[in-house]
Amino acid sequence: MELSCQVQNYDWGKKGSQSIVAQLQKSADPVFQIDEDLPYAELWMGTHVNGTSIVKKTKEKLSDIIKRHPNYLGEGVLEQFKQELPFLFKVLSVNKALSIQAHPSKSHAEELHSKFPDIYKDPNHKPEMAIALTRFEALCGFRPLAEIKSFFALVPELSDIVGCEALLEDCTLIKKAFRAVLTCDKGKITNIINNILERFGEHDEFQRDTVYAELVERLHSQFPYDNGVLMVYFLNYMQLMPGDAIFLGANEPHAYLSGDCIECMACSDNVVRAGLTPKFVDVNTLCSMLLYQGSPKEDKLFTPIREDDCTMIFRPPVPDFAVILIKVSTSKFTHYTPKERSSASILLFVNGEATYVNGIVVPGTVLFIPANTVVQFSNLKSDLLIYQAIANV
b/e for 339-377, b at 16 or more Cβ within 10 A? eebebbbbbbbbebbbebeeeebbbbbbbbbbbeeebeb
Catalytic residue among 179, 273, 315, 341: 273
Burial (CB count within 10 angstroms: exposed 0-12, middle 13-18, buried 19+), residue 36: exposed
Residue 137: CB partners within 8 Å, gap ≥ 6?
A: 237, 238, 239, 240, 256, 257, 258, 259
Spatial neighbors of 334 by CB under 8 A, at least 6 apart, are 378, 379, 380
Helix (H) or strand (E) holding 131: strand 128-132
Say which residues have a Cβ less than 8 Å from residue 125's Cβ, sequence separation at least 6: 103, 104, 105, 106, 108, 109, 250, 266, 268, 270
DSSP state of 146: H
Pairing, β 335-336 against β 54-55: unpaired
Q: How many CA atoms lie within 13 A of 256 on its CB side?
A: 28
In angstroms, what CA-CA distances link 282 with 101, 285, 302, 371? 10, 6, 28, 40
End-to-end CA distance of the chain: give it in Å, rounded: 22
Using an 8 Å Cβ cutoff, are 275 and 281 in contact? yes
371 close to 391: Cβ distance less than 8 angstroms: no
Is 68 a residue of the active site?
A: no
Catalytic residue positions, numbered: 273
